[in-house]
Structure 1
Amino acid sequence: MMSRVKKGLVAGLAATVVVFVLEGINQFAGPWFTPSFPAIVASMIGMDGNVAVGWIAHFLMGTVVLGPLFGILCPRLPTDTQATKGIAFSVGAFVIMMTGVFLFGGPSTFAGDAGFGVVAWLLITNVVFGIVLGLVYGELVTREKKAAKLMSAGGIPAH
């Protein structure tokens, strides 16, 4: 039996990988939206131009912080489906993140060409993160319930 925190960790890893792919496409095939989120994170940490640090911090936040936090908060979120719970959670995380960017980021974070497009891109990637987070977490919960039901009936789970 997996705890809610472990399920959240697994779901956070899956959601972070999906967002990594989106950010990677933006950064290497585009870039359509600059600066990328890893570049913004690196700037907030005080390491302008060191995008690798931004990628590492991005990975840790999505997997180690947001995933388990979602696992803890999921039963208390106000919606009915796992995907909408993930969206509600990730939009809340987006609001907190943008507050941090505006408070602690440099004054030029969204200057010039970077503006509404970057904020919209960050919101879209957070919503995608939330959908994947919720669906993976929900699948893990469903599997566990099915296995428990099978065990209580005297059966043995196949996996």
Structure 2
Amino acid sequence: MLAGLVATLVISLFMILRLAAGIMPWYNIVEIMNLTAQSVLGTPNSIVVGWIIHFLVGTLIWGTLFALLAPYLPGSSETRRGLVFGLGAWLVVMLTVFPLAGSGMFGMGFGLIAPISTLLGHIVFGLVLGATYGWLQRL
């Protein structure tokens, strides 16, 4: 789970910096999490709910799943296994979260930028997740 937290912190930092720089301010993954939670769980409209879900998913769900699946994933290192895992996580998000948020399969309601930028984010997430997990295993 610690590797999941580190990876989630890294991609969150990139997202905050992107939004602060005014780059694609209309495309906020945390807001998409908020919309999905409203749709699926009936939660109130709150960016705090979006952030909580973002960290819970990245830390608890993806972090735990990676720890369980890492020995079975292809790749000669934990970092490469993390990359494979990140790509799989991206596919799951594209087929579930975006449609539940009302933006369609692969988030195409946002245009081509949604799947591309989300893919890049999941690549970074997977690489950091795998590298951190590998480092922790060696301690």
TM-score band, normalised by shorter chain: 0.7 to 0.9
Q: Deviations over 1:123-157 (max 9, x none)?
A: 111110000000011011122xxxxxxxxxxxxxx
2:111 to 108, 112, 115: 115
2:5 to 13, 23, 26: 13
- Report the AA paired with residue 84 of structure 1: R
Alignment of 1:98-137 (within 5 A): 98-107=94-103, 110-111=108-109, 114-137=110-133
Alignment of 1:1-159 (within 5 A): 9-32=1-24, 34-46=26-38, 50-107=46-103, 110-111=108-109, 114-143=110-139
* RMSD of equivalent CA atoms: 1.9
Deviation at 1:117, TM superposition (A): 1.0
- The answer as to whether partners of 1:44 and 1:105 remain within 8 angstroms in 2 is yes
**TM-score, normalised to structure 2's length?**
0.86
- Over the matched positions of the two proteins, sequence identity in percent amounts to 33
Q: Which of the two has greater helix per residue?
A: 2
**TM-score, normalised to structure 1's length?**
0.76
- The answer as to whether partners of 1:82 and 1:135 remain within 8 angstroms in 2 is yes
Q: Deviations over 1:11-58 (max 9, x none)?
A: 011101101101111222223263211011111111685322111100
CA distance change for structure 1 residues 107 and 64 in 2, over 3 Å: closer, same or farther? closer
- The answer as to whether partners of 1:33 and 1:118 remain within 8 angstroms in 2 is no
CA distance change for structure 1 residues 107 and 75 in 2, over 3 Å: closer, same or farther? closer
Deviation at 1:102, TM superposition (A): 4.3
Runs of 4+ in 1 over 4 A off after TM superposition: 107-110
Deviation at 1:106, TM superposition (A): 1.2
Q: How many residues were matched structurally?
A: 133
**What are the ranges of 5 or more consecutive residues in structure 1 without an aligned counterpart?**
1-8, 144-159
